[in-house]
Structure formats: structure tokens, C-alpha cells
Homo-oligomer: A and B are copies of this chain.
Amino acid sequence: MLLGEGQTPLVRSRSIGALLGVDNLYFKLENLNPTGSYKDRFAAVLVSEMNAKGQKVCIATSSGNTGAALSAYCAAAGITCILVVVDGAPLPKIRQMQLYGAQIFMVHGFGKDPGVTATVFNELEKLCAANDLPLPISAYRYCPSAMQGVQTLASEILETLAGQVDHIFAPAGGGGLTLAVTNGVLTEQPDGGRTRVNCVQPEGNDTIASALRTNEPRARAVAQSTTTVSGLQVPGVIDGDRVLENCRKTGGTGYVVTDERVFFWQQALARQEGIFSEPAGAVALAGLEDAIRRKEVSRSETVVCLVTGSGFKDMASVETNFGLPAVQTVEATRTIGLIQPYL
């Protein structure tokens, strides 16, 4: 433990489980990691490795959870963190990274124009290679050893609910998280076993989930990711092929969900369970809803949904997606009268 990452709470559902018809539903609260997402487990290992090698500069491309995590761990390690962020990245996320001391470069068209995005990425890859630096991306394809830090998430679940877990639902963009969870599960049960790992994706970024369900041999890139769920907009395959292979080994399958259901469950997590999740953190639960509808999860099974990041990370989605009432200022004399009807 470097900054307090990992060993996150695994809490039992208080009402959503009953609502969905599952007796034993648990949430793994990765939103309570130090910078607010499971990426801290990745950054902790990556920055430790850099530290061990005496590397003093970390260059990465992220405007989201990976960037915040890298900024924090680099700050603690005394490593300069340089983040190339997408055009239009939200200011609050950038402010968090800057407060940790990261240098931010927002590149015109990056993340919007495929040509620009590819060019910047290739140039950075070359630059890092030339300087013997990692280019930290939270995927096995790029940073396999640091991703082992994420596998601990699965070990913690299996240890806490020893021998009881039937299903883990994990959200996927490029698939790194899901792959990490399968690796953790397959370490415990190499030839398959009780725990199935299911991969859930928003329909606007269905690179893995449908392929998994329909037994296709390969994940499939999409031309453009159209989901509005931030953090899961990864049109390339990245870890997808290995996710297919590993999820199948565990007996798991894929679920595709609409952004609308994701936002519905994000709100339900807050209202019913007191869990303040970012949209991506509600994707697993949306997948569980679909699984129950398809009768692929039964009432007596024990299910864990991963809540991957904090609601604080994406306050913009709170403002736009939930139609929360405007705050009206009332006169003091009216206060008690307004409260009375609730009693």
C-alpha cells in the first residue's frame, strides 16, 4: 500500500438486489481508492517500477482516471508527470491533476480527429521508447506487469467471500479491467470453477461483449465509440481477444447495455444504496439487470458488481443526466411549513 489503494470495501446491497431478485448482491467499491478509481492499483505498481528504475519523468495520454492516478502516484514518488489530454477534457479533472503537480498539454483535435489522435500517440510511443520510459496505458497489451496491480481486486473479492462468488460483472472499454479480474479468478481456479466473470459494455462501444456472447473468436474494433459513458470510449480492441478467451474459461459471457440504463443504475446506486458512482461504475449493474432478464443469473447466486470510480469524477454527468431539481431559495418563515408535509 502506497497511498492507501486497494482493500476497498465490499458492501452488501441493501435494496437493489431485492429489487432485481438476487439474494446476495455485493458491490466492490473501487470508487474509494485514493484518487477515486481502480486505476490507483495500476498506477501504484507502474510508478513503483519507475521508481525502482530511477526514471524521473512519466509521460502519458489520459484525461480521465488513469491521468489522475498517475499524477498522484508520481507526486508521491517525486516523478514529473506529463499528461497529454484530449481536446475538451473537463476542467475539474484537469484541476485535480494539476493540483498533484502534473504538467498538462491539451492537444487540438486529440481524441476527436482519428488522424491527430493516431499521430500524437505514435509520436509519444517513439519518444518514450527513445528515452527508455514506459507509456503508461492501463492494458495488458501495453503494461502487463502494472496491470497485475489490478488483479488484486479479484483476489480481495474471492478472499472476502471465500467459495461463494458465482458471478463477477465488470465493465469494459478496452477490456484491461475485465482481463485483470479474469486473471485473478483463474489464478484461484485455473481450470474453471464456481466464479464466472462477465464483461459488460455500453452498446456504443461493443468491441468485446457481443463477440463473447456469440462465440466469435476475436474482439472487433468499432469505427467510432458512440457511448457517452466516459472512460469506456475505446474503439480499438486492445485487450479484447484475451478477454474473450479468459471470460470463456471462467464460464462467463458478455452483456451489452444502453447508456440510458447505465444512468438509471447510477442514480439508483446513489438513491437506493448511498453509493456515489461515476457512470462507468454503474455499467456492471446494468449488465446484471440484463443477465437476470435473460435468466442467466438466478436468485440464490452470489453476485459481485464492480463500482469502478467515484461520482465526483464526472459531476458534469450528474448535472446533465438526472434532471435534478433547481435549488430554490425560500424565506425563513416558510421553512417549517415546507418540511411539515414530509412528517
By a beta-carbon cutoff of 8 Å, the part of chain A in contact with chain B is 1-4, 8-9, 11, 14-15, 29, 32-36, 57, 59, 71-78, 80, 82, 84-85, 87, 91-92, 94-96, 98-101, 103-110, 116, 119-120, 123-124, 127, 131, 267, 270-276, 310-312, 315, 318-319, 322, 324-325, 327-332, 335-336, 338-340, 342-343
Q: Establish whether residues A96 and B311, one from each chain, have CB atoms under 8 Å apart when the complex forms.
A: yes
Return chain B residues, CB-CB under 8 Å to A8: 4
Q: State in angstroms the CA–CA spacing of A291 and B124 once bound together.
A: 47
Return chain B residues, CB-CB under 8 Å to A94: 327
Q: Establish whether residues A107 and B76, one from each chain, have CB atoms under 8 Å apart when the complex forms.
A: no
Q: State in angstroms the CA–CA spacing of A123 and B330 once bound together.
A: 15
Return chain B residues, CB-CB under 8 Å to A4: 8-9, 11, 29, 32
Indicate the member of A8, A14, A274, A338 with the most B CB atoms within 10 Å: A274
Copy number in this complex?
Answer: 2
Q: Establish whether residues B107 and A332, one from each chain, have CB atoms under 8 Å apart when the complex forms.
A: yes
Q: Establish whether residues A11 and B3, one from each chain, have CB atoms under 8 Å apart when the complex forms.
A: yes
Please report whether the interface of chain A is mostly helix, strand, loop or mixed according to DSSP: mixed
Q: Establish whether residues A100 and B57, one from each chain, have CB atoms under 8 Å apart when the complex forms.
A: no
Q: Establish whether residues A332 and B276, one from each chain, have CB atoms under 8 Å apart when the complex forms.
A: no
Residue in B32, B123, B318, B332 whose beta carbon sits within 8 Å of that of A336 in the complex: B123
Q: Establish whether residues B120 and A36, one from each chain, have CB atoms under 8 Å apart when the complex forms.
A: no
Residue in B72, B110, B271 whose beta carbon sits within 8 Å of that of A100 in the complex: B271
Return chain B residues, CB-CB under 8 Å to A34: 9, 29, 32, 274-276
